[in-house]
Amino acid sequence: MPINAAIQDLVPDAQAWRRHLHANPELLYDVQRTAAFVAERLREFGCDDVHTGIGRCGVVGVVRGRKGDGKRVIGLRADMDALPIEETTNLPYRSIVPGKMHACGHDGHTAMLLGAARHLAGARNFSGTAVVIFQPAEEGGAGAKAMIDDGLMETFAIEEVYAMHNDPKRPIGVFALRKGPMLASADFFTIRLEGKGGHAAYPHQCVDTIVAGAQIVAALQTIVSRNVDPLDSCVVSIARFSAGSANNVLSQAAEMEGTTRTLLPATRDLAERRIREIVLGIAAASGIETSVDYHRDYPPTINHPAQADFAASVARQVAGADHVITEVGPVMGTEDFSFMLEARPGAFIWIGNGDSAGLHHPAYDFNDAALPYGMAYFAGIVETALAA
């Protein structure tokens, strides 16, 4: 399906923005140059208001339509931060910053939303207000939450909010989403065990933290196999187990770190409760003192049904009905747009990145062929939702 000519004309500039951002990656909340670049572009486009420093270094642009007297406000979000990865491509615009690269395509997301903002500010063919949101620290820093905590939704009276993420291996021009859970929550925990160390030849005189820890590792797997509905999804993983210093000494202490991933809030609650019960139970039976530090990080990314249907309808306008998948399976990765979907109705959608390397891979590159589809989708959300 052909892309609107006005959007297609923006591709060369969007590609230049994207490649500039790719060559100059920044991490988490340390995205001052990126934020300044975004704010400068938004002012050039003629946005009615440009706000900086929201959520420490997030940027928000406001574009008011010229048709009618609509009061509705739609938010569009892109993430700006890169990853601490050494790039292995030989692209002419490869990262010039050692140990940092845009390995997740946030450079592309930012460029697509900039293009949509330029189109909206130029045409203003809608009634109401578009709020374009450029957030820091998606990669583990909860930048979306920081912006919300700074009053993002209330300050700009946002009623609905939409975001997209590129999807390697999915063809260019193909969109995919679903109602309900799209991505999992991410929680992290640390388990500490304190027993009684001693000579490995005299285990009866000791309280062995490694044996108890091994029982805990095995028992935690029963949360998924015996406590969670087989039709639900849950991951409980121990990623680090540290204990001992010699082959003839039973360790006085042990420490484990792990993560849980769930799609449903109720399953998230269940997993945390069972982890605590299992650890405390085995430790008590073994005569070991223990503590469990459990940290809830990103919640599950859950699309609101009405907004997911609307997002799919806009994607069909852009790409055609045959290129929009509305029953894509959820994945156990995470996305901090989840915080925005907790705060306001909205939807998250995948956009094809073609046959590229995977996300977070040192050879990854955002596919510029996706730019017009993303810009058209973002602009279409506003112009359709706020049609006079």
Q: Note the pLDDT tens digit of each residue in 118-143.
A: 999 999 999 999 999 999 999 999 99
Overall average pLDDT of the 251-270 stretch: 97
Amino acid type, 58: G
Query: What's the pLDDT band for 68 if we cut at 50, 70, 90?
Result: low
Query: What's the pLDDT band for 67 if we cut at 50, 70, 90?
Result: confident
Q: Find the angle CA(314)-CA(263)-CA(79) to the nearest 5 degrees.
A: 50
Overall average pLDDT of the 161-175 stretch: 98
Overall average pLDDT of the 131-159 stretch: 98
The DSSP 8-state label assigned to residue 247 in this structure reads T
Residue positions counted in the chain: 388
Q: How far apart are CA 342 and CA 54, in angstroms?
A: 19
2: pLDDT strictly greater than 80 = no
Give the residue extent of every domain in the chain: 5-182+300-385, 186-298
Share of the chain above pLDDT 90, in %: 97
pLDDT value of position 3: 85
pLDDT value of position 347: 98
Query: What's the pLDDT band for 302 if we cut at 50, 70, 90?
Result: very high
Q: What is the pLDDT of residues 366-388, one digit of tens each?
A: 999 999 999 999 999 999 999 96
Relative to beta strand 289-298, strand 186-194 is antiparallel
pLDDT value of position 70: 80
Class of domain 186-298: alpha beta
Identify the residue with better confidence: 69 or 19.
Answer: 19
Can you say whether the dihedral through the CA atoms of 295, 267, 334, 221 is positive or negative? positive
pLDDT value of position 306: 98
20: pLDDT strictly greater than 80 = yes
How high is the mean pLDDT of the chain?
97
Query: What's the pLDDT band for 294 if we cut at 50, 70, 90?
Result: very high
Q: How far apart are CA 313 and CA 287, in angstroms?
A: 60
Q: How far apart are CA 43 and CA 10, in angstroms?
A: 17
Overall average pLDDT of the 190-194 stretch: 98
Q: Is the domain defined by 5-182+300-385 classed in CATH 3.40.630.10?
A: yes
Query: What's the pLDDT band for 4 if we cut at 50, 70, 90?
Result: confident
Overall average pLDDT of the 278-285 stretch: 98
Amino acid type, 273: R
Relative to beta strand 73-79, strand 49-54 is unpaired
